[in-house]
Amino acid sequence: MLHRLTISELTARLARREVSARDAMQACLDQVARVDGDIKAFISHNPADALAQADAADKSIAAGADFSAQPLLGVPIALKDVLAVKDQPLNCCSKILGSFVSPYDATVVTRLKAAGAVIFGRLNMDEFAMGSSTENSAFQTTRNPWDTSRIPGGSSGGSAAAVAADECIASLGSDTGGSIRQPAALCGVVGMKPTYGRVSRYGLVAFASSLDQIGPFTKDVRDAATVLEVISGHDPRDATSIPQPVPRYTQALTGDIRGLRLGLPKEFMVGGLDPEVKRAVDAAVTHLQSLGATVQEVSLPHTDHDVAVYYIIATAEASANLARFDGVRYGARVEGADPLEMYGNTRGAGFGAEVKRRIILGTYVLSSGYYDAYYLRAQKVRTLIRQDYLRAFEQVDAIVTPTTPTPAFRLGEKSGDPLQMYLSDIFTIGCNLAGIPGLSLPCGFASNAERGTGNAKLPIGLQLLGKPFGEETLLRLAHAYEQSTPWHREKPSLHAS
């Protein structure tokens, strides 16, 4: 049962030498073998390499390693297929990268390794992180562990499902418009997007560079604080990473949230919000009040424009970032009579439909004549959106919202309708546009009446948004809420489909 433990539970047992890192790694590998045929969170993993890393961790533990210096020693952690790990395949779940193998470690990977983590497995995602359901992967479709007829969310669907199904102890994902928080909410785990600049993106394949951040998926809030502390910090190799000291995030978990001021944005109580989601979020707000927080309404008047602004800025940046996949520098190539034809053949065959849609949209909004009408205007509205948040944070310490408008939807339900898919991100996108930190944690369940082979209930996520570099406040609030509610202890019962 070691695969079911949290980081803090596992490291406590490792430190007392009650269990070995090899046993913990083996338990996760066994769980992958048992359930991943149904869940399909992993694209690939290398059991022999994972066990060798675990053995190395056991050696350090036997030699008296210091867990305060290496807080992830012996902990099995899996990564979204968008993060570079030296000598491992890196595909972004796209065909265009072919048999590309990463020549170096991402900075977050260097930091995880220094903290003693056992890094195993590549996790499924929407191709180049474009999507909200993981159905845009070129490789496979991940299923929600609570109901395998439903999506796990996206784009980091593999990262969320793997943690929810106890196939790893924690994972990393990336969040450009909600790709950590939305799948975390739909799979019933904790997911956190740090402040823009908090975590280095060196070695993260870029989607939209002014929005992308890396963050953790964990089974509880304490673990999120532990992983965040490890991966945060300035990195000269990412010019957007901010040279600000990293707090001891785990020390923020005091349990005391008395006097913290919470804001409820009136613009978020929109039509289309599922009544069970609304009920759970209202109850969570009442609960936070009972713990001593105060609640007031705030206004984010430009919220209406979030989705439009995001899909202009994100596609514009994606069209530029993805220009590098040309058949010359990385991965796959489809030959042609001349270089131009070769580029076209390679990109035509290598990119999936959603990625092509975004490149075309992005190229259009950047093209001469349309740049001012779309891109420049979107940048201006983005500034207004950020100002709305900063103004709200003059009155409150954190903003509370649902993470998603509905619980997990069915496979195929929105994949034919890009606009419906884009609208499933309405509550998460503002956070990226504003560059602020956001966290999603479980806050209850919706009934799953037509459950088929699934569980009778589906997880609901509560989103907490904070000031720039306000991660400690978010973690403190989330921890106090979690520790006084039962949700995070619930596990899906995994049925074979």
Measured distance CA(267)–CA(301) in Å, rounded: 7
Rounded-to-integer distance, Cα 111 and Cα 133, Å: 29
DSSP secondary structure of 30-97: HHHHHHHHHH--EEE--HHHHHHHHHHHHHHHHTT--TTT-TTTT-EEEEETTB--TTSB--TT-GGG
Among 135, 229, 317, 425, binds ligand GLN (CB under 6 A): 425
* Residues 325, 336 contacting (CB under 8 angstroms): no
Applying CB under 6 A, does 131 fall inside the site for ligand GLN? yes
Q: Is 388 in the site for ligand GLN (CB under 6 A)?
A: no
Rank residues 21 and 130 by Cβ distance to ligand GLN and give the closer one: 130
| Measured CA angle at 356 (ends 200, 416), to 5 deg | 105
Position among 132, 321, 440, 473 found at the interface with ligand GLN (CB under 6 A):
132
Minimal CA–CA distance to 235: which of 214, 208, 207, 211? Answer: 214
314 lies in the binding site for ligand GLN (CB under 6 A): yes
- 216 Cα distance to chain centroid: 7
Q: Which is nearer to ligand GLN, 177 or 437 (CB)?
A: 177
Minimum CB distance to ligand GLN, residue 174 (Å): 6
Mark residues 183-222: x for contact with ligand GLN by CB under 6 A, - for none: ------------------------x---------------
Quick check: 130 binds ligand GLN (CB under 6 A)?
A: yes
**Binding test (CB under 6 A) with ligand GLN, winner from 157, 178, 203, 402:** 178
Residue 449, CA distances (Å) to 56, 261, 452, 458, 465 in order = 47, 37, 9, 10, 31
The DSSP call for residue 433 is H
Among 129, 161, 225, 355, binds ligand GLN (CB under 6 A): 129
Q: Which residues are catalytic?
A: 80, 155, 179
Is 175 a binding residue for ligand GLN by CB under 6 A? The answer is yes
Shortest approach of ligand GLN to residue 131 CB, angstroms?
5
The SS3 assignment for 227 reads helix
Is 94 among the residues that bind ligand GLN (CB under 6 A)?
no
Binding flag, residue 152, ligand GLN (CB under 6 A): no
- Among 8, 53, 91, 179, the residue binding ligand GLN under the rule CB under 6 A is 179
Instruction: Give the footprint of ligand GLN on this chain (CB under 6 A).
Output: 129-132, 155, 175-179, 207, 314, 425
